[in-house]
């Protein structure tokens, strides 16, 4: 039975970027965090890396709204944003007061609304926010700050404040999203401090009961491995991530066998498959956030049902270079883990920077011809979507990098790319993409009638 809330507390909201700005640990307070908001109390300290996380979520909200409102005929978009670990909404950064995730999410939506109404005055961006924190004092602090900023009239309407754990609140949140409309468009930002506050079974429920949910989850992989050993591997916390004792033992063996960087890749390449299986998400983006002032890595996991959602989050990662990190190869099939191969062989850090982009493009020029040959032999129509979509989860590559490889092959006379374009009469016609450097997902890739004697495909064969 779901927990009932005092109606005076709340409004209606959506899954949002919870605790995107988690404060640092309080020095000297062993095993305790400094997440305390209240009258007269100093604000929690905000780590520099949390600012980068805030930027990632802000950028993603902007891309999310832009992607879903590309049709200029459209006049309305309904969305729910849920911040599952919202805190009090304010932090201290070197003496300055900084907005936390709840306030930044509201500001991001306001900016998007201004853009949309400038395009179409009557556009209705109908967004509900749900801000959840298990401590009533934190919720009260956030309520006061929202009122100070002029959002008091939204509390109980488009802003819902919930004093509860995320797990207790989720049944009512899902019900509210389902009542809001048929599309169930929702963003869940779940910035848990460790790795067990959010149960994978709950994520699985979100994916199963909602049509268009997306979940952004932080996961402290280092904490999981460092804290779990033989004596603690039976802790009930393991149930949150659907791991049994033998699963943990296998992860520990990987850590011992693969070295300082090798174990991270091994964990990334195996746990991510486990999470996929346990959540029911069709698309998945798993990379590390490496805090510059800390030796502990966070795993930032984006889960969705749609390829375009994965594509947009991938683009955000590329825009946040030197903060995101990937332990794996540069091209497609970059996350597959073979227990018979030393994961340290040929491995380089991948920081989503210019070097990573150059390595990805080089790798794709070797991989794309092989994939095209295989697809053509099977006799099917090959599109950019069919080439990349089924491989999107296993790579840091995004569509624009695939476009670069396809354009290079076309310019070398290796492929012909066909697309659709409306003529002056509005009829859809097939055209050859002779000069385009960006391609649509349904553009068709064909082998040329007169192939070159020496080509990428000759080398691939």
Over residues 355-414, the pLDDT tens digits come to 888 888 998 999 999 999 888 888 889 999 998 888 888 788 899 999 999 999 999 999
Q: Structure pTM? A: 0.84
**Contact predicate 214/188, CB 8 Å:** yes
Query: Which tokens hold the place of 114?
Result: 């201004």
Q: What is the mean pLDDT of the chain?
A: 81
Tell me: pLDDT of 317 over 50: yes
Distance CA 266, CA 332 (A): 17
Query: Could you tell me which residue, 299 or 215, shows the higher pLDDT?
Result: 215
The interaxial angle of helices 48-68 and 101-119, nearest 10 deg, is 30
Per-residue pLDDT for 3 more than 60? no
* Confidence grade of residue 289 (pLDDT, cut at 50, 70, 90): confident
pLDDT at 391: 85
Per-range mean pLDDT, top range of 120-134, 302-316, 347-361, 390-404: 120-134
Integer CA distances (angstroms), 293 to 42, 50, 313, in order: 22, 11, 25
Predicted local distance difference test score (pLDDT) of residue 380: 81
Region 440-450 average pLDDT: 90
Residue 10's DSSP bridge partners are: none
Q: Report the alpha-carbon angle 64-65-71, nearest 5.
A: 115
Angle at the Cα of 364 from the Cα atoms of 363 and 370, rounded to 5 degrees? 105
Residue-level pLDDT at 419: 95
Tokens standing for residue 306: 């749609």
* pLDDT single digits (tens) 68-85: 999 888 999 999 999 999
pLDDT digits (tens, 9 = 90+) for 127-163: 999 999 999 999 999 999 999 999 999 999 999 999 9
Mean pLDDT of 261-287: 76
pLDDT in the model for residue 239: 73
- Taken in order of first residue, the domains within the chain and their CATH numbers are 7-327 (3.40.50), 362-460 (1.10.10.10)
Closest CA to 129 of 177, 65, 88: 177
> Tell me, what's the pLDDT at 262?
66
325 backbone dihedrals φ, ψ, rounded to 5°? -140, 140
% of the chain at pLDDT higher than 70: 75
Q: What does the pLDDT average to over 337-347? A: 48
Q: How confident is the model at residue 54 (pLDDT cuts 50, 70, 90)?
A: confident
Structural contact between residues 158 and 127, judged by C-beta atoms closer than 8 angstroms: yes
Q: What is the pLDDT of residues 165-194, one digit of tens each?
A: 999 999 999 999 999 999 999 999 999 877
In this structure, what are the phi and psi dihedrals at residue 337, rounded to the nearest 5 degrees? Answer: -110, 120
User: For residues 441 and 388, what is the distance between their CA atoms, to the nearest angstrom?
Assistant: 9
Q: Is the pLDDT of residue 222 over 80?
A: no
Is the pLDDT at 449 greater than 80, yes or no? no
In the prediction, which pLDDT does 344 show?
46
In tens, the pLDDT along 92-109 reads 998 999 999 999 999 999
Helices 200-209 and 166-180, axial angle in degrees (round to 10): 10
Q: How far is CA 67 from CA 20, 58, 227, 306, 442, in A?
A: 22, 14, 40, 12, 17
For residues 332-361, average pLDDT: 64
pLDDT (mean) for 233-238: 60
C-alpha neighbours within 13 Å on the C-beta side of residue 192 = 23
Spatial contact of 284 and 302, defined as CB atoms under 8 Å apart: yes
């Amino acid at each position: 039975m779901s927990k009932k809330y005092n109606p005076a507390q709340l409004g209606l909201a959506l899954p949002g970027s919870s605790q995107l700005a988690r404060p640092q640990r309080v020095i000297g307070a062993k095993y305790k965090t400094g997440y305390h908001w209240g009258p007269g109390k100093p604000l929690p300290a905000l780590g520099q890396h949390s600012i980068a996380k805030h930027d990632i979520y802000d950028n993603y909200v902007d891309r999310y709204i832009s992607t879903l409102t590309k049709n200029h005929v459209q006049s309305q978009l309904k969305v729910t944003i849920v911040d599952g670990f919202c805190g009090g909404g304010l932090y201290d950064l070197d003496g300055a007061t900084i907005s936390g995730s709840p306030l930044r999410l509201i500001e991001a939506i306001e900016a998007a609304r201004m853009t949309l109404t400038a395009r179409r005055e009557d556009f209705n961006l109908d967004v509900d926010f749900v801000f959840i924190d298990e401590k009533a004092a934190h919720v009260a602090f956030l309520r006061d700050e929202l009122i100070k900023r002029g959002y008091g009239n939204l509390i109980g309407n488009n802003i819902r404040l919930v004093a509860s754990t995320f797990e207790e609140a989720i049944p009512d949140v899902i019900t509210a999203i389902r009542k809001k409309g048929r599309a169930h468009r929702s963003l869940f930002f779940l910035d848990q401090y460790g790795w067990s506050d959010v149960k994978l079974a709950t994520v699985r429920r979100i994916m199963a009961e909602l049509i268009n949910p997306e979940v952004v989850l932080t996961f402290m992989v280092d904490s999981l491995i460092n804290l779990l050993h033989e004596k603690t591997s039976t802790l009930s916390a393991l149930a949150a991530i659907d791991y049994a004792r033998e699963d943990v033992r296998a992860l520990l063996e990987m850590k011992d066998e693969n070295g300082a960087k090798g174990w991270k890749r091994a964990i990334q390449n195996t746990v991510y498959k486990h999470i996929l299986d346990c959540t029911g998400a069709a698309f998945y983006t798993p990379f590390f956030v490496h805090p510059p002032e800390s030796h502990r890595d966070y795993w930032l996991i984006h889960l969705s049902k749609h390829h375009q959602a994965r594509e947009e989050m991938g683009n955000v990662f590329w825009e946040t270079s030197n903060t995101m990190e990937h332990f794996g190869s540069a091209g497609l099939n970059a996350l597959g883990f073979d227990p018979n191969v030393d994961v340290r062989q040929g491995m380089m850090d991948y920081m989503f920077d210019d070097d990573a982009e150059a390595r990805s493009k080089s790798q794709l020029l070797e991989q794309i011809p092989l994939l095209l040959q295989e697809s053509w032999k099977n006799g099917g129509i090959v599109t950019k979507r069919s080439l990349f979509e089924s491989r999107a989860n296993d790579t840091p590559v995004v569509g624009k990098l695939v476009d670069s490889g396809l354009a290079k092959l076309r310019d070398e006379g290796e492929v012909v790319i066909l697309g659709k374009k409306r003529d002056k009469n509005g009829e859809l016609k097939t055209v050859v993409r002779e000069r385009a450097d960006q391609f649509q997902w349904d553009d068709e890739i064909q082998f040329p009638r007169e192939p070159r004697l020496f080509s990428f495909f000759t080398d691939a064969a």
